[in-house]
Structure formats: structure tokens, C-alpha cells
Structure 1
């Protein structure tokens, strides 16, 4: 098997392994390599409020959050810019309503239990 031409590979020059981040796109002299495109870092921008709608399903009233997600998807697929903005505003509105409603229920539950306990002790 060692006599087969497929197992013998000759390398004329060695390529050193560079372990410094970002140094892989430069040649030895520090000049940029040909064909390397440097892009600006991408910023997260959720134009149609998709992530807010998903968070409102998980951390809010899910039926209102689903309505927000539906409007977000409609905003993305709508070719008319005005209608797309309208769906996007609706998605944001429903998502915020979902989260605020859930937080208010969580805050009011102990208060209502305390009020009920107080009323029961007054009857005795």
C-alpha cells in the first residue's frame, strides 16, 4: 500500500498555523490577503418585532402573543410598505399587551390572596 501514488503527498512550502484571532486574513508582512472582505459588525435590528412576539408567547399571555407573531409574519411578507408598518406596529402592541398583562396578573395574585385572607379573618 505504501507504493501507491495516492498515499504519498509532497508539500513544497509549509503554511504556519496562526493562532491569533484575525491574523488568518493577513500575509506574513501584515498586508491583507487577496479576496478577504472586511464587513462592519452586524447590529441586531428586529424591524418587524419578531423576537418581541416570540418572547410574549413565552413570557406573557400566549394567545395574545400568537396574535403578535401572526402580525409580525404578515408585516414581513407584505409588499406594501404602509401595510407592513401597520402590521409591525400591531405586532409590537400585542406583544407589549401580552407581557404587561402577564406581569400584572403575577403582581396582583398575591395581593388578591392577601385581601381574601383579610376578608375571611374579618368574618370570624
Structure 2
């Protein structure tokens, strides 16, 4: 391999390498700041937009769309109390959509087995 100037890596000597477990906590404040508070690696979705989109994909779509509409209303609302109300409604509708879809998926084989059993009893 030839040593070209494009393959060299500059190392910043001011940045210490912390090799002890848990030593990254001293740099936690540099991970991300939003409005003066530290955000974690998995940011919190205060308006439950991701949950609403997941309920459209993995739930009953009609209820999931209502959850997404409430999530958008919660984000656009200037009043904190109304925004909180829309956010909670969005979360509740998204969870209902997912739970109902899982219930339908779980009950479909059970109902098919019941219908098959009733048909065999008739004969």
C-alpha cells in the first residue's frame, strides 16, 4: 500500500480517549441539547407522531389516521393544555388501533376453529 496524503487520519490531541467503562457519562451533555435540556439517544416523541404512524401501518388504519391527525394538532397547537389533550388523545387512539388489530389477528383463527367445530357438529 502506498502512503498518500488522502489516507492519513488526523487525531485531535485535545480530545482525551476514555477507556474506562462508564467514562462516557462525562460527555453526556455534549450528546444533544434541545431547549436547554439534554436529549437522550432515543428522543422522546412528545406528540406521539411515531406511535400514530406505527398504528396506521401495524393497526387499524382508520383509527391510526385519527391518531396522526391529533398528533399534528398537538404539535401545531399553541395552548399547552390543548396540546397536551391532543397528544394524549393521539396516544390513546394509536394504542387502541394496535390492540384492536392484534385482537382481530388473535381471534380470527379461534373463530375459524369454532365455525369448523360447529359445522362438524351439524353433520
What range describes the TM-score normalised by the shorter chain of this pair?
Answer: 0.7 to 0.9
Counterpart in the other structure of 1:75: 74
CA deviations on 1:8-49 (whole Å, 9 max, x unpaired) are: xxxxxx798317xxx4xx2xxx125xxxxx822542110000
| CA-based RMSD | 2.1
Distance, in Å, in 1 between the alignment partners of 2:61 and 2:71 is 15
SS at match of 1:115: helix
Matches within 5 A, 1:33-44: 39-41=30-32, 42-43=39-40, 44=43
Distance, in Å, in 2 between the alignment partners of 1:15 and 1:111 is 64
Counterpart selection for 1:18 from 9, 21, 28: 9
Distance, in Å, in 1 between the alignment partners of 2:7 and 2:55 is 50
Pairs aligned (count): 98
State the TM-score, normalized to the length of structure 1. Answer: 0.73
Question: Which one has a bigger Cα radius of gyration?
Answer: 1
In structure 2, stretches of 5+ residues that fail to align are 16-28, 33-38
Report how far residue 104 of structure 1 moved.
Answer: 0.1
Counterpart selection for 1:31 from 14, 18, 21: 14
Counterpart in the other structure of 2:26: none
CA deviations on 1:29-88 (whole Å, 9 max, x unpaired) are: x125xxxxx822542110000000000000000000000000000000000000000000
- Give every structure 1 segment of 4 or more consecutive aligned residues whose post-TM-superposition deviation is greater than 4 Å: none
Q: Which is helix-richer, 1 or 2? A: 2
Distance, in Å, in 1 between the alignment partners of 2:79 and 2:61 is 28
